[in-house]
Amino acid sequence: MRLSVIIVSWNTCDLLRRCLETLKPAVACLDSEVFVVDNGSIDGSVSMVASEHPWVRLIANDDNRGFAAANNQAMAVAQGEIVMLLNPDTEVQAGCIDKLISFLDEHPAAAVVAPQLLNSDGTIQRSCRQFPTFRGMLYELVGLSRLFPRSSIFRQYKMLDWNHDDERQVDQPEGACLVVRREVIEQVGLLDEGFFMLFEEVDWCYRIKQHGWEIWFTPQAKVLHHYGQSIKQVKTKMIISSHRGLYRFWHKHYRQRRWYLDPFAWGGLMSLAYLRILAHQVRQVLSGNLRSEKVA
Protein backbone atom coordinates (compact mmCIF):
# COMPACT_ATOMS: atom_id res chain seq x y z
CA MET A 1 0.00 0.00 0.00
CA ARG A 2 1.29 3.44 -0.92
CA LEU A 3 -0.12 5.71 1.82
CA SER A 4 -1.60 5.48 5.31
CA VAL A 5 -3.24 8.62 6.73
CA ILE A 6 -3.75 8.81 10.50
CA ILE A 7 -6.02 11.35 12.19
CA VAL A 8 -6.28 11.50 15.99
CA SER A 9 -9.41 13.27 17.17
CA TRP A 10 -10.91 14.34 20.48
CA ASN A 11 -14.24 16.21 20.50
CA THR A 12 -13.71 17.84 17.11
CA CYS A 13 -16.74 16.46 15.27
CA ASP A 14 -17.44 19.36 12.90
CA LEU A 15 -13.78 19.98 12.13
CA LEU A 16 -13.17 16.26 11.61
CA ARG A 17 -16.11 16.06 9.22
CA ARG A 18 -14.66 18.84 7.08
CA CYS A 19 -11.19 17.30 7.27
CA LEU A 20 -12.46 13.98 5.93
CA GLU A 21 -14.54 15.69 3.25
CA THR A 22 -11.42 17.37 1.84
CA LEU A 23 -9.27 14.28 2.33
CA LYS A 24 -11.50 11.80 0.50
CA PRO A 25 -10.98 13.18 -3.05
CA ALA A 26 -7.28 13.73 -2.30
CA VAL A 27 -6.68 10.00 -1.72
CA ALA A 28 -9.27 8.66 -4.18
CA CYS A 29 -6.71 7.77 -6.83
CA LEU A 30 -4.10 6.44 -4.41
CA ASP A 31 -3.63 2.96 -3.00
CA SER A 32 -4.31 4.22 0.49
CA GLU A 33 -6.02 3.77 3.83
CA VAL A 34 -7.29 6.37 6.29
CA PHE A 35 -7.48 5.85 10.05
CA VAL A 36 -9.40 7.95 12.54
CA VAL A 37 -8.38 7.24 16.12
CA ASP A 38 -10.95 8.76 18.44
CA ASN A 39 -9.76 9.43 22.00
CA GLY A 40 -13.00 9.05 23.91
CA SER A 41 -14.99 11.89 22.32
CA ILE A 42 -18.44 12.69 23.70
CA ASP A 43 -19.55 15.00 20.87
CA GLY A 44 -20.76 12.37 18.41
CA SER A 45 -17.49 12.11 16.47
CA VAL A 46 -17.51 8.31 16.45
CA SER A 47 -21.07 7.98 15.15
CA MET A 48 -20.42 10.72 12.55
CA VAL A 49 -17.40 8.89 11.13
CA ALA A 50 -19.16 5.54 11.17
CA SER A 51 -22.28 6.83 9.41
CA GLU A 52 -20.90 9.48 7.05
CA HIS A 53 -17.46 8.05 6.24
CA PRO A 54 -17.61 4.25 6.21
CA TRP A 55 -14.50 4.21 3.98
CA VAL A 56 -12.45 5.25 7.05
CA ARG A 57 -10.93 2.71 9.41
CA LEU A 58 -12.23 3.83 12.80
CA ILE A 59 -10.50 3.07 16.10
CA ALA A 60 -12.63 4.23 19.03
CA ASN A 61 -10.86 4.46 22.39
CA ASP A 62 -12.85 4.55 25.61
CA ASP A 63 -10.72 7.38 27.01
CA ASN A 64 -8.17 9.97 25.94
CA ARG A 65 -4.91 8.09 25.46
CA GLY A 66 -3.01 11.14 24.25
CA PHE A 67 -1.74 12.15 20.83
CA ALA A 68 1.37 9.97 20.71
CA ALA A 69 -0.29 6.77 21.96
CA ALA A 70 -3.27 7.15 19.63
CA ASN A 71 -1.07 7.69 16.58
CA ASN A 72 0.99 4.66 17.57
CA GLN A 73 -2.18 2.55 17.68
CA ALA A 74 -2.77 3.19 14.01
CA MET A 75 0.88 3.09 12.96
CA ALA A 76 1.17 -0.37 14.46
CA VAL A 77 -1.37 -1.74 11.97
CA ALA A 78 -0.92 0.69 9.06
CA GLN A 79 0.43 -0.84 5.85
CA GLY A 80 1.45 2.21 3.84
CA GLU A 81 4.97 2.76 2.53
CA ILE A 82 4.39 6.38 3.56
CA VAL A 83 2.54 7.53 6.68
CA MET A 84 0.83 10.90 7.02
CA LEU A 85 -0.05 12.23 10.46
CA LEU A 86 -2.86 14.74 10.04
CA ASN A 87 -4.71 16.88 12.58
CA PRO A 88 -8.53 16.90 12.53
CA ASP A 89 -8.56 20.71 12.35
CA THR A 90 -6.98 20.69 8.88
CA GLU A 91 -8.18 20.76 5.27
CA VAL A 92 -5.83 19.40 2.62
CA GLN A 93 -5.68 21.58 -0.46
CA ALA A 94 -5.82 20.34 -4.04
CA GLY A 95 -2.76 18.36 -5.10
CA CYS A 96 -1.19 18.53 -1.64
CA ILE A 97 -0.79 14.82 -0.94
CA ASP A 98 0.51 14.01 -4.43
CA LYS A 99 3.14 16.75 -4.10
CA LEU A 100 4.27 15.51 -0.68
CA ILE A 101 4.63 11.92 -1.90
CA SER A 102 6.48 13.10 -5.02
CA PHE A 103 8.84 15.11 -2.84
CA LEU A 104 9.88 12.02 -0.89
CA ASP A 105 10.33 10.11 -4.16
CA GLU A 106 12.64 12.84 -5.46
CA HIS A 107 14.59 13.30 -2.21
CA PRO A 108 15.82 9.87 -1.02
CA ALA A 109 17.62 11.39 2.00
CA ALA A 110 14.41 13.01 3.27
CA ALA A 111 12.69 11.13 6.07
CA VAL A 112 9.95 13.70 6.69
CA VAL A 113 8.33 16.40 4.61
CA ALA A 114 5.80 18.93 5.87
CA PRO A 115 3.56 21.24 3.83
CA GLN A 116 3.02 24.94 4.19
CA LEU A 117 0.25 25.51 6.73
CA LEU A 118 -2.27 28.27 6.15
CA ASN A 119 -4.38 30.05 8.75
CA SER A 120 -8.16 30.01 8.45
CA ASP A 121 -8.00 33.33 6.55
CA GLY A 122 -5.48 31.94 4.06
CA THR A 123 -2.40 33.69 5.45
CA ILE A 124 0.82 31.74 5.98
CA GLN A 125 1.18 30.03 9.35
CA ARG A 126 4.77 29.92 10.58
CA SER A 127 4.87 26.31 11.59
CA CYS A 128 8.55 25.33 11.87
CA ARG A 129 10.88 25.61 14.84
CA GLN A 130 14.49 25.05 15.68
CA PHE A 131 15.19 22.36 18.24
CA PRO A 132 14.97 23.71 21.81
CA THR A 133 18.22 25.18 23.10
CA PHE A 134 19.18 26.59 26.47
CA ARG A 135 19.27 30.17 25.20
CA GLY A 136 16.10 29.90 23.11
CA MET A 137 14.11 28.36 25.96
CA LEU A 138 15.45 30.92 28.43
CA TYR A 139 14.16 33.71 26.18
CA GLU A 140 10.77 31.99 25.99
CA LEU A 141 10.51 31.23 29.71
CA VAL A 142 11.32 34.74 30.89
CA GLY A 143 9.20 36.37 28.19
CA LEU A 144 11.95 38.20 26.29
CA SER A 145 10.68 36.87 22.96
CA ARG A 146 7.30 38.49 23.68
CA LEU A 147 8.69 41.72 25.11
CA PHE A 148 10.97 42.25 22.08
CA PRO A 149 9.15 40.58 19.16
CA ARG A 150 11.22 42.39 16.51
CA SER A 151 14.61 41.30 17.86
CA SER A 152 16.34 38.81 15.53
CA ILE A 153 17.98 37.17 18.55
CA PHE A 154 14.68 36.42 20.24
CA ARG A 155 13.04 35.33 16.95
CA GLN A 156 15.44 32.49 16.19
CA TYR A 157 13.70 29.60 17.99
CA LYS A 158 10.36 30.14 16.21
CA MET A 159 12.12 31.06 12.94
CA LEU A 160 10.09 34.27 12.72
CA ASP A 161 12.55 35.94 10.35
CA TRP A 162 11.58 33.39 7.70
CA ASN A 163 8.15 33.69 6.13
CA HIS A 164 7.84 29.96 5.36
CA ASP A 165 7.61 30.68 1.65
CA ASP A 166 10.55 28.69 0.27
CA GLU A 167 11.68 25.07 0.32
CA ARG A 168 14.31 24.19 2.90
CA GLN A 169 15.54 21.72 5.48
CA VAL A 170 14.25 22.39 9.01
CA ASP A 171 14.54 20.90 12.49
CA GLN A 172 10.93 20.35 13.49
CA PRO A 173 7.78 21.14 11.54
CA GLU A 174 4.56 21.35 13.51
CA GLY A 175 2.77 18.01 13.86
CA ALA A 176 -0.45 19.21 12.19
CA CYS A 177 0.69 17.46 9.02
CA LEU A 178 3.79 15.28 8.79
CA VAL A 179 4.56 12.81 6.00
CA VAL A 180 7.06 10.11 7.03
CA ARG A 181 8.66 7.12 5.31
CA ARG A 182 7.70 3.75 6.78
CA GLU A 183 11.33 2.62 6.75
CA VAL A 184 12.21 5.60 8.95
CA ILE A 185 9.55 4.67 11.49
CA GLU A 186 10.89 1.10 11.57
CA GLN A 187 14.42 2.40 12.10
CA VAL A 188 13.76 5.19 14.60
CA GLY A 189 10.69 3.82 16.38
CA LEU A 190 7.20 5.12 17.06
CA LEU A 191 6.27 8.29 18.93
CA ASP A 192 7.31 8.38 22.57
CA GLU A 193 4.11 7.80 24.56
CA GLY A 194 5.66 9.53 27.55
CA PHE A 195 4.57 12.73 25.79
CA PHE A 196 0.80 12.98 26.26
CA MET A 197 0.23 16.00 24.03
CA LEU A 198 2.77 18.44 22.51
CA PHE A 199 6.53 17.99 22.00
CA GLU A 200 6.12 14.37 20.85
CA GLU A 201 6.83 15.44 17.26
CA VAL A 202 9.84 17.46 18.42
CA ASP A 203 11.27 14.37 20.08
CA TRP A 204 10.49 12.27 16.98
CA CYS A 205 12.18 14.73 14.61
CA TYR A 206 15.20 14.95 16.92
CA ARG A 207 15.58 11.16 16.90
CA ILE A 208 15.10 11.03 13.14
CA LYS A 209 17.89 13.57 12.60
CA GLN A 210 20.15 11.68 15.00
CA HIS A 211 19.84 8.74 12.61
CA GLY A 212 21.18 10.88 9.77
CA TRP A 213 17.93 11.61 7.92
CA GLU A 214 16.79 14.98 6.57
CA ILE A 215 13.57 16.82 7.45
CA TRP A 216 12.09 19.16 4.87
CA PHE A 217 9.47 21.87 4.48
CA THR A 218 7.88 22.62 1.10
CA PRO A 219 5.45 25.44 0.29
CA GLN A 220 4.43 23.64 -2.91
CA ALA A 221 1.98 21.56 -0.84
CA LYS A 222 -0.56 23.43 1.27
CA VAL A 223 -2.84 22.52 4.16
CA LEU A 224 -5.36 24.83 5.80
CA HIS A 225 -4.94 24.60 9.57
CA HIS A 226 -7.58 26.03 11.89
CA TYR A 227 -4.92 26.51 14.54
CA GLY A 228 -5.66 25.52 18.12
CA GLN A 229 -9.30 24.56 17.62
CA SER A 230 -8.86 21.11 19.10
CA ILE A 231 -6.83 22.14 22.15
CA LYS A 232 -8.62 25.37 23.07
CA GLN A 233 -11.20 23.23 24.88
CA VAL A 234 -8.58 22.50 27.55
CA LYS A 235 -6.16 25.38 27.12
CA THR A 236 -4.85 25.38 30.68
CA LYS A 237 -4.17 21.64 30.61
CA MET A 238 -2.41 22.01 27.27
CA ILE A 239 -0.14 24.74 28.64
CA ILE A 240 0.81 22.41 31.47
CA SER A 241 1.25 19.52 29.03
CA SER A 242 3.50 21.68 26.84
CA HIS A 243 5.79 22.52 29.76
CA ARG A 244 5.88 18.89 30.83
CA GLY A 245 6.71 17.91 27.27
CA LEU A 246 9.55 20.42 27.08
CA TYR A 247 10.87 19.20 30.42
CA ARG A 248 10.76 15.57 29.25
CA PHE A 249 12.46 16.44 25.96
CA TRP A 250 15.20 18.41 27.69
CA HIS A 251 16.03 15.72 30.22
CA LYS A 252 15.74 12.92 27.67
CA HIS A 253 18.20 14.42 25.21
CA TYR A 254 20.26 16.96 27.21
CA ARG A 255 20.35 15.36 30.66
CA GLN A 256 24.15 15.18 30.60
CA ARG A 257 24.27 18.97 30.86
CA ARG A 258 24.76 20.64 34.23
CA TRP A 259 22.04 22.41 36.15
CA TYR A 260 23.19 25.86 35.11
CA LEU A 261 22.57 24.89 31.48
CA ASP A 262 19.04 23.73 32.30
CA PRO A 263 16.47 26.31 31.10
CA PHE A 264 14.05 25.23 33.79
CA ALA A 265 16.56 26.08 36.49
CA TRP A 266 17.08 29.52 34.99
CA GLY A 267 13.37 29.94 34.38
CA GLY A 268 12.70 29.13 38.02
CA LEU A 269 15.34 31.56 39.21
CA MET A 270 14.06 34.35 36.98
CA SER A 271 10.47 33.68 38.07
CA LEU A 272 11.49 33.87 41.72
CA ALA A 273 13.37 37.09 41.07
CA TYR A 274 10.34 38.55 39.32
CA LEU A 275 8.03 37.54 42.16
CA ARG A 276 10.37 39.10 44.70
CA ILE A 277 10.41 42.37 42.76
CA LEU A 278 6.62 42.26 42.43
CA ALA A 279 6.21 41.57 46.15
CA HIS A 280 8.54 44.49 46.95
CA GLN A 281 6.48 46.82 44.74
CA VAL A 282 3.25 45.68 46.38
CA ARG A 283 4.75 46.34 49.82
CA GLN A 284 5.81 49.81 48.72
CA VAL A 285 2.31 50.60 47.46
CA LEU A 286 0.69 49.32 50.63
CA SER A 287 3.23 51.15 52.77
CA GLY A 288 2.59 54.38 50.87
CA ASN A 289 -1.17 54.00 51.35
CA LEU A 290 -0.71 53.41 55.06
CA ARG A 291 1.49 56.49 55.41
CA SER A 292 -1.04 58.58 53.51
CA GLU A 293 -3.82 57.44 55.83
CA LYS A 294 -1.71 58.34 58.91
CA VAL A 295 -0.94 61.82 57.57
CA ALA A 296 -4.62 62.41 56.80
Cα separation of the two ends of the chain: 85
Task: Give the pLDDT of the chain (296 residues) as one tens digit per residue.
Answer: 999 999 999 999 999 999 999 999 999 999 999 999 999 999 999 999 999 999 999 999 999 999 999 999 999 999 999 999 999 999 999 999 999 999 999 999 999 999 999 999 999 999 999 998 777 766 766 666 667 767 777 677 788 889 999 999 999 999 999 999 999 999 999 999 988 777 899 999 999 999 999 999 999 999 999 976 555 555 556 667 666 777 777 778 776 655 455 655 555 555 555 555 666 667 777 766 545 444 44
Burial label for 290, CB within 10 Å (0-12, 13-18, 19+), is exposed
> Which fold would CATH assign to domain 3-127+164-257?
Spore Coat Polysaccharide Biosynthesis Protein SpsA; Chain A (3.90.550)
Measured CA distances, 78 to 3, 44, 222, 234 (Å): 9, 25, 24, 30
Burial label for 263, CB within 10 Å (0-12, 13-18, 19+), is buried
Residue type for 86, please?
A: L
Domain spans, the chain: 3-127+164-257
What is the distance between the alpha carbons of residues 203 and 191, in angstroms, rounded to a whole number? Answer: 8
Question: Model-level pTM?
Answer: 0.82
Interior angle at CA 271, CA 266 and CA 276, nearest 5: 125
How many C-beta atoms surround the C-beta of residue 292 within 10 A? 9
